[in-house]
Chains A and B, each alone.
Chain A
Amino acid sequence: MSPYNRSVTQAPALLQVEGLRHAYGELEVLRGLSFALPRGAIGCLLGPSGCGKTTALRCIAGFEPVRAGRILLGDTVVSAPGLSLPPEKRRIGMVFQDFALFPHLTVAANIAFGLHAAPPSERGERLRELAALVGLAPALQRYPHEISGGQQQRVALARALAPRPELLLLDEPFSNLDIDLRERLSLEVREIINASGATAILVTHDQHEAFAMADEIGIMHDGRIQQWDSPYNLYHRPVNRFVADFVGQGAFLPAKVLNSRRVEIELGVLEGEIPDACQLGCDVCGRGCTADILLRPDDVVHDDAAPTQAEVVHKAFRGAEILYTLRLGSGRKVLALVPSHHNHALGERIGIRLDVDHVVAFAPENR
């Protein structure tokens, strides 16, 4: 495991997934998925469609058998080859992509549904508690089709939380909502989950959602976790090209490695740890290996006084900022995030300089 791929929190894990494999017929979807989620944390599996993240969630919920590896909830093995504790015995709560509210029951009956084993007085109390938590008290006697999408989402959340599950699973919980609502609700839902003290794991392909909700995120690709880390580290310290590409925007520039702490790119010399530098060190070896350096849009700063100039080839207005695509002297392109009052026309040449906090370098790709 690379030094960057470390667990963020040290609390004992509530959920442990170890070397999980799953296949639909010949198609292997999970190929040795491993991660651990500490109690009380909100984790996220983030990846493009088809990376296996929903399958992983269904395995954790107990809806899919596993081919190899195991899943532990607390100290109990709930899934292993030939062993699968049924979903209803796992003490999990689940929020489905389409919410899966029961259309024939009122909001109150939906929320209280998982409390069938509790005595009626306790059921009423828990229902009031949850209605207050998610702000649905006035809508309790309505039916799901009579309330808005955002309210349905909150009913689904309250219903899942009602039986006090050990682990809450959320499957693309915001994909059915419009973008405005998505942003607001993801923060709201995070607060509700934290207030309930639950441990949660979320599955999504939308990094904004993941960043807004999760303490720890696992980037999934090819049925494996590529990197399990905090949002900050995923963005600023990606461990491989896939993570660098998938999370955030940016451009790669070829660099000459000067020594284990310095690289030179077209825009100047950068200093920092070069993880993939050769073992000998450039000073000894002297052949001068090359690397690809990741430049994020916030690493490239617009400065009229800077000696280096680049041509504006594309611009995307984002309100507070403009995302410029700039062509360098060599013809390579970089992205720059610039406050939007610096409004430059296409074709214009503007001054740029680098403000790189730490260098992200990968072995060069065949070009």
Chain B
Amino acid sequence: MFAGFDFDVIERSLPYLFREGMVFTVTLTALAMTGGIVFGTGLAMMRLATGVSLAPLVWLAGAYVNLMRALPLVLVIFWFYFLVPWIGGWLIGARQTIQVGAFWSAVITFTMFEAAYYCEIMRAGIQSVSRGQQSAGYALGLNYWRTMGHVVLPQAFRNMLPVLLTQTVILFQDTSLVYVISATDFLGAAAKVANRDHRLVEMYLFAALVYLVVSYVASRTVGRLQARLAVIR
């Protein structure tokens, strides 16, 4: 069945696929994960805020999360690609739009989009830490921010680590959607080679295999981590 296949094209394009494509994909995943978790944790803290004076924050964060989760990712990527230069220009008061580029546009988009999902994970994580832990922090003389930073968030993060990583594996796969803004991620690089050399089946099969291997290894790691954390808790 593979008689007519040219596996040589894969070998020839490996440096391009990985040095260009995979580096883009991994960098984008890493930056969006970091930014998404930081922003998402902030959103989670806003959503969990109590007291009448903080009610607008709760509402704002809730509206943002629900909006992001209601939109298809492709649409968000597309919109942000055109909107970010405008908003950026407006923010710094420039007369014309600012130049962002596909890569940074993608980083900003994925950070904003994934933050909504990381927010819900961190919200569950914060709620998984008993109220007594927070009280214990206050009773030991720590204010809200120090209690959050030293007591609640480290535990929330640890409890939710497997879920956060699972979400990151999804993010890793979703980065392939940057094709709509013609950025060259791993899949994009494979597609370019496939079209140039008319080797669509080989290249897409190979790309699928790489995504499978990376995701599978990551999932197994998450599974092992989960087993280890279950003992500690």
Contacts and interface: CB of A to CB of B under 8 A. Distances in A.
Given A116-B146, A145-B232, A102 B139 contact: no
A223 interface: no
Nearest to A114: B140
Given A113-B140, A114-B140, A160-B139, A100 B133 contact: yes
Interface string A139-157: 0000101000000000000
Contact of A88 (B142, B158, B232): B142
Interface stretch (A6-14, A89-97, A328-336): A89-97
Contacts of A113: 140, 150
A120 to B, nearest CB: 16
Given A102-B151, A103-B233, A88 B143 contact: yes
B138 A100 contact: no
Contacts of A4: none
A217 B141 CA distance: 28
Interface residues of B, number: 19
A104 B136 contact: no
A103 B130 contact: no
A87 B233 contact: no
Given A61-B139, A113-B140, A159-B140, A103 B232 contact: yes
A94 B139 contact: yes
Main secondary structure of the interface of A (DSSP, over half): loop
A63 B141 CA distance: 13
A82 to B, nearest CB: 15
Closest 9 CB pairs of A and B: A114-B140, A94-B139, A100-B136, A100-B132, A87-B138, A88-B141, A88-B138, A104-B154, A96-B132
Interface of B: 130, 132-133, 135-136, 138-143, 146, 150-151, 154-155, 158, 232-233
Given A88-B139, A94-B139, 6 more contacts: A87-B135, A91-B141, A96-B135, A98-B132, A160-B139, A163-B141
14 contacts: A87-B139, A88-B142, A88-B143, A94-B139, A97-B132, A98-B132, A100-B132, A101-B136, A102-B133, A103-B233, A113-B140, A114-B140, A116-B142, A169-B139
